[in-house]
Amino acid sequence: MKLSRVWIIRAAAVIGVLGVLALAGTGYRRWKKRPGPGRMADEASRAPRTRFVAPDEDYYHAMDRGAKLDLEENQGRNTWMVWSAGNDLFWDWLAHQSAGSFDLLKVVSSYDPDKDTRLSSDQRERLRQIYNFRHDNRLATLGAVNEPCYEQAVEGDPRRYGLWLDQRKLDCVPDPFANEEKYPGVPIGLRGRLNPLGSQYGAPSGVIGLRLFPNPDFHDEAVLKWNAVRYYTDPSYYLSKDLVRPYRVGVTCAFCHAGLDPASLPVDVNDPQWENISSTTGSQYLRMDRIGMWQGDPSQFAYQLLHATRPGSVDMSLVATDHINNPTAIGAIFHVAARMEMARATGKETLAGASLQNRQMSTYVAGGPLAAFFEEPATVWTPRLGSAAMDSSGILAGVNRAFAELGIFSEEWLFHFNPLLGGRPQLPFDLGVARRSSAYWNQTETLTPNVVRFLMRAEAPPVRSGPPVDRTASTRGKLVFAERCAGCHSSKLPSPPAEADLGNCTGNYLDCWNRYWNWTHSQEFRSRMEKLVMADDFLDKNYLSTDLRVPLQVVGTNACTALASNGTAGNLWDAFTSQTYKTLPSAGSITYYDPETGAKREMKLPGGGRGYVRPPSLAGLWFSAPYLNNNSLGSFEPNPSPDARQAAFQSGMEQLLWPEKRERDEKLGDKIPGKIDRTTAVSRLQLPARAVPGESSEDLAIGPIPAGTPVGLLANLDLLSPKALPLLLRMKKELKTEADFAKFTGELFELSACPDYVVNRGHYFGTGLDGDLALTDQQKRDLIEFLKLF
């Protein structure tokens, strides 16, 4: 049969197209298997594991002053305390990436060189310098809270690979959440085969909020190479990035949020009972410098950065960096029900795009109060979470994001940013991908509605311990509070006129704010507010904040909190911020200061969500000093006793109301209104090649960096700027001596993502520096007396 030429050409074309499609299909399948964003599955999904058991024992019944919880609330508290959602993988990854400088297994150890009989005197002396933390001094050295029922290890435990892990007391009942029969762990690698399976909630480590999981990679060669003696004594061993540890450590909400109950302290703060623990007081003494770099080496700039993070504060954008050093205080959580009630009045937000994918409480409850915070298609009434009021897509979304921030689904998450170092644009966290590919995420979304129910039971802070309050003075102080403080720090307010109602703001938010702010300075507001404050029940169920977005220029505090950018459009937490947040106008301009000369500069704040701060709640003020968003105001007292807390409170209040008492900068003195965090020793900055902008294959070592260098010069360097890489390469080449560093400070300052380095400035209300009439000294003392009751 004779084939036409046209037919042959057409057949060849079809075969060619099919060939291309076949190659494309093969290429697509290979692409799908290649690691990258949107193509990852977490360990639980790969196991595969789709079902988890909710934690239902009432093990923590003595906590929280014996609060009586129903089944759902109890499951919520248990989730808060023991669910780490598979993030042990992330924290183990970080230990490898840091070559052992970060190591949570060291943090939970109680290795004591003085009890190690195998050491020489020289070894013992060297190791004493770095192993100065253990069970019996953990609160003072690390700020972490010991779990009840544990006592200090006195030797390596042969049942646990020779590790110096604290020992559970024999008279204590077992931790029910470590039961792998009821709560079977995820069988991945050799976990559940040659290695123990463990529990989905891990085993207690002896430190609240840190849970131990069998390491699925601990097998064969790793087992043969494991040496517990060298793990504690030999830096060439424990600082190897290839070291495989027998356990991975998971981090739960409780690590930052649970703490000693200020009104029920144990005799020994390192040996508490559960009745001495509050799940929402906050870990006020947590020291991120030693948690993050357990050796505490001041010659490393990374340690200097963490050392500038004051006890009881943490930079939640440290890992997913926005090139801004922004440690914020770990706030106590009280009066959540009152906060939710307030949200119905002033917490209205509009959702759009990815934020519409968030689950709301109405997804899980058919009716009742918790179902009333979302209205189709896109309106949510929500507390605004975070110091910059960023989380704004519903309370449930805010709780879920906390688990993401702690490292859930890190297989995917780590492709969305360059951890710790930055230097490349972020990609938004994708809720659809998480639900499709992360069993841990799906279980978290199942558990967190009960977390919200539990938090709704977080009621009043503990009653103050200390000398009696002068009731006459505190009554006068109520009037001062009504006039100068309540507009930001009370959830009980007079009903505003329509034009000043921020709950129904339309148009430009800054215009709405200005109308509200003007109203709070009116005689009509103050007269009505005085009546509210004078009522005997004013402090009952009062959240003592408004949760409003306050323009930074009004407060005047350090700008780095307000400039945080991870929640802006297109960045990592895009899905968890509302359209209302993303379309906020610029909050105006602020003044900041040159760190070398003290000269004033001006900057216009960006719009799109940045430039605002949320007033913190004053509930628990009597025990939560130091103050301001970064714990920079007032003395830090490492002793949690009532006397020490009262001393810290008094110091913080006096610095708040008498700014001349605030700490001044060691170099610039009165040229600037406060203190700049500066390095304490000569240090060096090590940047691995992955942190260097562009296609560099070389690590960068920058130094020497002189003692006294503003930490922000390097910590806030915007590595996304095209000028950053040339500057770093010049510094590597030309920086030979400490004196050489001075020629780079100007350029580093100009490239700061946040150029405001004065940490304890602002909040000058009542001092006269805010443009309002200054309070008299007697009025300030009266106000302090009233605040003692908070």
Span 308-328, pLDDT tens digits: 999 999 999 999 999 999 999
CA torsion, points 276, 282, 288, 294, in degrees to nearest 10? 20
Radius of gyration of the chain measured on its C-alpha atoms? 27
Query: Token digits for 335?
Result: 């009066």
Using the 8-state DSSP alphabet, how is residue 591 labeled? E
pLDDT of 144 strictly over 60: yes
Asked whether the beta carbons of 324 and 712 are under 8 A apart, the reply is: no
pLDDT mean over 378-388: 96
Cβ-Cβ contacts under 8 Å for 561 (sequence gap 6 or more): 326, 328, 387, 388, 613, 629, 630
Span 402-426, pLDDT tens digits: 999 999 999 999 999 999 888 899 9
User: Looking at per-residue confidence, does 117 or 9 come out higher?
Assistant: 117
pLDDT of 31:
38
Question: What letters, b where the CB count within 10 A reaches 16 and e where it falls short, cover 276-289?
Answer: bbbbbbbbbbbbbb
pLDDT of 467:
85
Amino acid (1-letter code) at residue 450: N
pLDDT mean over 501-524: 95
Q: Rounded distance, CA 499 to CA 9, Å?
A: 75
Sign of CA dihedral 397, 560, 325, 129: negative
pLDDT of 447 strictly over 90: yes
Give residue limits of the domains in the chain.
Answer: 1-34, 85-306, 683-750
pLDDT of 6:
46
- The pLDDT-based confidence of 18 (bands split at 50, 70, 90) is very low
Average pLDDT, the chain: 93
Query: Token digits for 299?
Result: 């010659």
pLDDT of 691:
59
Q: What percent of the chain has a predicted confidence (pLDDT) above 90?
A: 88
Question: What letters, b where the CB count within 10 A reaches 16 and e where it falls short, cover 293-328?
Answer: bbbbebebbbbbbbbbbbbbbbbbbbbbbbbbbbbb
Asked whether the beta carbons of 171 and 151 are under 8 A apart, the reply is: no
pLDDT mean over 467-476: 94
pLDDT of 26 strictly over 70: no
- The pLDDT-based confidence of 3 (bands split at 50, 70, 90) is very low
Span 230-287, pLDDT tens digits: 999 999 999 998 999 999 999 999 999 999 999 999 999 999 999 999 999 999 999 9
pLDDT of 695:
55
pLDDT of 133:
97
pLDDT of 694:
60
pLDDT of 301 strictly over 80: yes
- The pLDDT-based confidence of 366 (bands split at 50, 70, 90) is confident
Asked whether the beta carbons of 390 and 412 are under 8 A apart, the reply is: no
Asked whether the beta carbons of 677 and 757 are under 8 A apart, the reply is: yes
Backbone angles phi, psi at 436, to 5 degrees: -80, -30
pLDDT of 29:
44
Q: What percent of the chain has a predicted confidence (pLDDT) above 70?
A: 94
pLDDT of 693:
60
Mean pLDDT check: name the lowest of 331-340, 460-469, 496-505.
Answer: 460-469
Q: Are strands 247-251 and 277-278 parallel, antiparallel or unpaired?
A: unpaired
Q: Rounded distance, CA 69 to CA 388, Å?
A: 32
pLDDT of 208 strictly over 90: yes
- The pLDDT-based confidence of 21 (bands split at 50, 70, 90) is very low
pLDDT of 690:
63
Query: Token digits for 80?
Result: 């808060």
- Per the listing, tokens 């215009």 go with 511
pLDDT of 20:
37
Span 517-540, pLDDT tens digits: 999 999 999 999 999 999 999 999
Using the 8-state DSSP alphabet, how is residue 165 labeled? B
Q: Rounded distance, CA 203 to CA 206, Å?
A: 9
Using the 8-state DSSP alphabet, how is residue 260 labeled? E
**Distance, C-alpha 496 to centroid of its chain:** 34
pLDDT of 15 strictly over 50: no
pLDDT mean over 60-72: 95
Bridge partners of residue 593, in order along the sequence? 600
